[in-house]
Chains A and B, each alone.
Chain A
Amino acid sequence: AQSVTQLGSHVSVSEGALVLLRCNYSSSVPPYLFWYVQYPNQGLQLLLKYTTGATLVKGINGFEAEFKKSETSFHLTKPSAHMSDAAEYFCAVSEDTGGFKTIFGAGTRLFVKA
């Protein structure tokens, strides 16, 4: 059965600092992995996705994530945080279990300090 664990429900960084949001997954088959962002009282927007191929995935707004099969991880990074990055971030996994379902982690709220 698939599951997603996000380490740290809250992360706080200074503007200009590195952003690192951690995600580990479990899946019995090669997974499809996603990061989404949510701003207050809105739906989720796709940041990036990993399907197959290159392990370093680039997304929107300067974010990228690296798929590490040996560590079952898919951590999200951004070299330099901007105030507008403050939001909640969700890691998600999708696999074929007789129909595709997407399962989400609990989310990490990112705070950016001026």
Chain B
Amino acid sequence: DGGITQSPKYLFRKEGQNVTLSCEQNLNHDAMYWYRQDPGQGLRLIYYSQIVNDFQKGDIAEGYSVSREKKESFPLTVTSAQKNPTAFYLCASNTGESSPLHFGNGTRLTVT
């Protein structure tokens, strides 16, 4: 079955370390997205990519970086510059334009 795979499900890191979250999709979708979810704040867009080798900043891109070298993959790096990185991170994809988003099951990152 087609879908989005995020790994790992839980991730623990020490403050000051960079960490990369994986997101792979086999839906043949052009567009991919990273959202951050915090209690009571809904989902906030970090980065999105509509085609390979191109991506745009979302509303809260500071302290994060991404790459889109392959259509299937859109990894997110949480850098040490992100002031409050502990959160639930969700990767999503769609065919672009106004189509609904398909989500992975998320990665819960805890930084201490």
Expressed in whole angstroms, the Cα–Cα distance for A6 and B56 within the complex equals: 27
A98 to chain B, nearest CB (A): 9
Contact partner, A106, options B41, B90, B96, Cβ 8 Å: B41
Tell me whether A45 and B103 are in contact (CB under 8 A): yes
Expressed in whole angstroms, the Cα–Cα distance for A46 and B104 within the complex equals: 12
The residue in chain A whose Cβ has the minimal distance to the Cβ of B90 is: A43
A55 within 8 A of B: no
Tell me whether B103 and A51 are in contact (CB under 8 A): no
Interface size class, chain A: 20 to 34
Tell me whether B100 and A46 are in contact (CB under 8 A): yes
B1 within 8 A of A: no
Tell me whether B43 and A104 are in contact (CB under 8 A): yes
B84 within 8 A of A: no
By the criterion of a CB under 8 Å from any partner CB, how many residues of chain B are at the interface?
A: 26
Inter-chain residue pair count (beta carbon < 8 A): 59
Majority DSSP secondary structure for residues of A touching B: strand
Using Cβ atoms and an 8 Å threshold, which residues of chain B touch A101? 45, 48, 58
Q: Contact string, B86-106, partner A, CB cutoff 8 A, digits 1/0?
A: 000010100011101101111
Using Cβ atoms and an 8 Å threshold, which residues of chain B touch A78? none
Tell me whether A46 and B101 are in contact (CB under 8 A): yes
Expressed in whole angstroms, the Cα–Cα distance for A43 and B100 within the complex equals: 13
Tell me whether A106 and B40 are in contact (CB under 8 A): yes
B25 within 8 A of A: no
Using Cβ atoms and an 8 Å threshold, which residues of chain B touch A49? 100
Which of B35, B44, B96, B98 counts the most A-chain CB atoms under 10 A from its CB?
Answer: B98
Tell me whether B100 and A34 are in contact (CB under 8 A): yes
29 contacts between A and B (CB under 8 A): A32-B98, A34-B101, A36-B101, A41-B108, A42-B105, A43-B4, A43-B103, A43-B105, A44-B101, A45-B103, A46-B101, A49-B100, A90-B42, A94-B98, A96-B97, A99-B48, A99-B50, A99-B56, A100-B31, A101-B45, A101-B48, A102-B33, A102-B101, A104-B35, A104-B43, A105-B42, A106-B41, A107-B40, A107-B42
